[in-house]
Amino acid sequence: MPSAPTLRGTALLNNALRNKGTAFTEAERREYGLEGLLPTQVETLDRQVERIHRHLEAKPSNLERYIYLSGLRDQNETLFYRVLMSNPAQFVPIVYAPTLAAVCQQFSHIYRRPRGMYISLDMRGRIRDVLRNWPLENVRFLCVTTGGRILGLGDIGVNGMGIPIGKLDLYTACGAVPPEVLLPVQLDIGTTNSALRADPLYLGLRREPPPLEELDAFVDEFVAAVEDVFPNACLHFEDWKGTDALHYLEKYRNRVLCYNDDIQGTAAVTLAGLITALKIKNETLAQQRFLFLGAGSSGLGTADMLISALKQEGVSEQEAIERITLMDVNGLLETTRTDLTPQQKRYAKPLPPSRDLLAMIKAIKPTVLIGVSTSGGAFTQNVVEAMSVLNERPIIFPLSLPQKNSECTAEQAYEWSKGQALFAAGLQFPEVTWNERTFYPGQANNFYIFPALGLAVYATCPKRITDDMVIEAARALADQVDPASRERGRLFPPQSDILDVSITSAARIAEFIFDQGAATVERPKDIRAWIESLTYSPQYAD
């Protein structure tokens, strides 16, 4: 933010980056033609935050709070981020999951004003020129979606734009990455959702998505345009259709600076929860057997990350693959199936076909059960009890979102396991009291990973993001769960500490990047202090 605004009067009050509202001093009001345009009282930023909190308390739902906060961002960006960073644990569920599911379903209907960029198929051949319409040059992160698979809602086209907006809000709120270097992007490739195409208020292309060859050419042009217009930017792929997510991560991961949060972020936060759970059990990753319900991009990405982590512990790749079993909507990934993708074939087992989760638990005797299926209630009482018979402390992670898609609830997991489950879900369940004991369900939410990773990448400027960097993010997170918290069954640090957690993780990741020789900036003497010096603090400029 410039030290002295060049705008005056109502133009200044309508500029979200420079507006201070009632915090403009008397001298500033005289200098910039604001006298008479604001109430008399000059307020501090903290007093403004207090008023916003009272406004939010009066709202009837989190959707209404989201809409209010979106309006606040459009009026006063500093105040918006000061509110979010004042209590991330309170505001993450409003600007991110689970509220974003409702936001995205209604995005075209609650749309107020543009944020980010919309790049459509109609812009082919001139995407570079379109990107140059963005008013800022030093873009470091573009969070880009096609809306093809949003929070268990399926393909919702440009209604998915709420996700890149929300993700990048958390880069700042949870990782203190400066908001001016962040750009949400919607690639409008059409939608398979016929109801949306028929909706008169739908804001996207009213057509089916193109075939893969045409989509490849479009995405290739977009990626090349980003490299040209924003040469220091990282592409954060988010909520693409599962097969597209895997395809484009594999295609670009060794060519450009990029990261897929659905694949790598979900894998990392799951790995972090597993590491913490295994500290409680006093066991190693190499001693575990893993069963996944769900073999889409999140399941496969997590399985791949587990293989990389197991190899770090000295397990061969083949042995690591043998320890991981996956099931999808058509049953066990096994060698007689003809419908498996190349990524799925890696995990196909020489076992009889089966669609019976309970039977598979009894057959392979997993120590870890992970749900990424969006099949609500799939972890039945029989399933949890079977895991508890096989394991004194079964690790049960129902990660699907939103809540109706969660494979089981925290209360069910603790009750059916008689309080022995080590539990984390994709959403935050409330504390559970069972048999006079209180349990603290973990939330394996990606916001524990991507803001910290983003801050480290922002600082060190590597040319690529490797799986080893993402694994280091997971280990850095797990190491911040202290022994007392583990004694209470906590698998993740408190959300109220997320900013400090992210900075600590970022310092660890940055140190790893320097040690690997992957940074393109000079190594500082004190990495933690250097990271802190680069973080964003929502304060008005003098």
Residue 149, pLDDT score: 85
What number of residues does the chain have?
542
Classified by CATH at the fold level, domain 94-260 comes out as Rossmann fold (3.40.50)
Residue type, 406: S
Give catalytic residues, as residue numbers. Answer: 96, 167
239 annotated ligand-binding residue: yes
The CA-to-CA distance between both ends of the chain, in Å, stands at: 10
pLDDT of residue 1: 42
Q: Are 19 and 75 in contact (CB under 8 A)?
A: yes
Position 3 scores a pLDDT of: 47
Q: What is the model's pTM?
A: 0.94
Q: What is the pLDDT along the chain (542 residues), one digit of tens a residue?
A: 444 447 999 999 999 999 999 999 999 999 999 999 999 999 999 999 999 999 999 999 999 999 999 999 999 999 999 999 999 989 999 998 889 889 999 999 999 999 999 999 999 999 999 999 999 999 999 999 999 987 778 899 999 999 999 999 999 999 999 999 999 999 999 999 999 999 999 999 999 999 999 999 999 999 999 999 999 999 999 999 878 888 999 999 999 999 999 899 999 999 999 999 999 999 999 999 999 999 998 999 999 999 999 999 999 999 999 999 999 999 999 999 999 999 999 999 999 999 999 999 999 999 999 999 999 999 999 999 999 999 999 999 999 987 889 999 999 999 999 999 999 999 889 999 999 899 999 999 999 999 999 999 999 999 999 999 999 999 999 999 999 999 888 999 998 999 999 999 999 999 999 999 999 999 999 999 999 999 999 999 88
CATH 3.90.1170.20 is right for the domain spanning 265-446: no
Cα 167 to Cα 183: distance, rounded to the nearest angstrom: 10
CA 522 from centre of chain: 29
How far is 46 from 170, CA to CA, in rounded Å? 21
Contact 187/280 with Cβ under 8 angstroms? no
pLDDT at 5: 46
Q: Maximum distance among all alpha carbons in the chain?
A: 80
Which among 11, 491, 452 has a CA at the least distance from the CA of 281?
491
How many CB atoms are closer than 10 A to CB 456? 31
Which residue ranges make up each domain of the chain? 94-260, 265-446
Report the pLDDT value the prediction gives residue 542, as an integer from 0 to 100: 80
Cis ω on the peptide bond leading into residue 402 (within 30° of 0)? yes
- Topology alike, domains 94-260 and 265-446: yes
Residue 175: name the closest of 84, 244, 103 by CA: 84
Ligand-binding annotation for 238, yes or no, is: yes
Q: So what's the pLDDT on residue 243?
A: 83
> By CB neighbour count within 10 A (0-12 exposed, 13-18 middle, 19+ buried), where does 280 fall?
middle
The per-residue pLDDT for 379 is 98
431 is in an annotated binding site: no
**Is 472 known as a binding-site position?**
no
Instruction: Kindly state the tokens that stand for 255.
Output: 């060519």
Q: Would you state the structure tokens that stand for residue 94, as one six-digit string? A: 């409003």
Return d(Cα 270, Cα 368) in angstroms, integer: 11
